[in-house]
Amino acid sequence: MFIIKFYDKNHSGKNKYAVLTNQGDVRNILMTNFNLLQILLSEYPTASFCFMGERRYYKDKEHGQLLVEDAENNIRYRVYKLFVQQEEIQNYLNAHFIQKYKDSISGYLFLNRNNRLCTSLSLYEDNIRDMLGREFPEIRFLD
């Protein structure tokens, strides 16, 4: 399983996944990730993929305190989800993957149709949250 994670190379701190980048470049960033998915799939024909939308930090306008967005159905996840729902992208994904998403953790799973292990969808759905939390504790969706 490949987990798609990215951040602006100018940000390397603890919260690097939560820092917003140039919002006008989102489509190019997502297209680059989609192109990488296609390349990886050609090299690993039974690979599955996953992505999550990291919560963003923002300042409360009234009190000036730093707040963190809810893990559930956060804004990045909604943008990523809209991207993969485009017809051209969906046609490719449907040909290769069974798609499962979990709004509760802002996670999206692409289970490879050519991988016999992916036939037990409930196993993957039950374990995705724990696996992601264990492998990537910096994505604090368990808080």
Instruction: Look at residue 120 in the predicted model and tell me its pLDDT.
Output: 64
What's the token pair of residue 16?
Answer: 């690097």
Instruction: Look at residue 44 in the predicted model and tell me its pLDDT.
Output: 95
Bridge partners of 3, per DSSP, are 50
Question: Could you say which residues of the chain have pLDDT below 50?
Answer: 16-17, 141-143
Identify the residue whose tokens are 């940000």: 11
Instruction: Look at residue 38 in the predicted model and tell me its pLDDT.
Output: 96
What's the token pair of residue 82?
Answer: 């809209």
pTM for this entry: 0.70
Instruction: Look at residue 6 in the predicted model and tell me its pLDDT.
Output: 55
